[in-house]
Amino acid sequence: MSQHSIVHVEIPATDASAASKFYAELFDWKIQVDPTFNYHMFQANPGPGGAFVQAGEGTDYKIGEVLIYVSTDDIEATLARAETLGATMLVQKTEIPQVGWFAIFADPAGNRIALFTNLS
């Protein structure tokens, strides 16, 4: 059975490079940048990691709308249960090559929540 732990957090920023520099210096987080997607990944030890993502026009990210990823062993079953409880599907199960799968729904209050299943 899934633990349903928070495993990843995406924090929108108007300048992902500046945000990653700020938090790296503040919390001594290690940053790894994927320049293809301007995705600045961080690892908070202990605790889940995440990424600073570019917010603004032409993106799905808005300042103040942090996206948390919750682990699950069965995305389809968790999504079905979420919908039964009043959630709205935003992004169907989508593969992250060589990593796993994710999906995003809006809870009944409109908050976006992501689900994640690892390949292993």
Digit-by-digit pLDDT tens for the chain (120 residues) are 567 899 999 999 999 999 999 999 988 899 999 988 889 999 887 778 899 998 988 888 889 899 999 999 999 999 999 999 999 999 999 999 999 999 999 998 898 999 999 987
Q: pLDDT value at position 51?
A: 93
Q: Give how far the C-alpha of residue 66 lies from the chain's centroid of Cα atoms, to the nearest Å.
A: 8
CATH of 72-120, picked from 3.20.20.140, 3.30.365.10, 3.10.180.10, 3.20.20.70, is 3.10.180.10
Q: pLDDT value at position 82?
A: 96
Q: pLDDT value at position 31?
A: 94
- CA-to-CA separations, 81 to 18, 23, 118, in angstroms, rounded: 39, 36, 20
Q: Please provide the DSSP assignment of 27-95 as one string.
A: H--EEEEETTTTEEEEE-SSS-EEEEEE-STTSS--TT--EEEEE-S-HHHHHHHHHHTT-EEEEEEEE
Q: pLDDT value at position 68?
A: 94
Q: 10-55 — its CATH code?
A: 3.10.180.10
Sequence ranges of the domains in the chain: 10-55, 72-120
Q: Give how far the C-alpha of residue 58 lies from the chain's centroid of Cα atoms, to the nearest Å.
A: 18
CA distance 59 to 46: 30
Domains 10-55 and 72-120 share a fold: yes
Locus of tokens 């079953």: 77
Q: pLDDT value at position 2?
A: 65
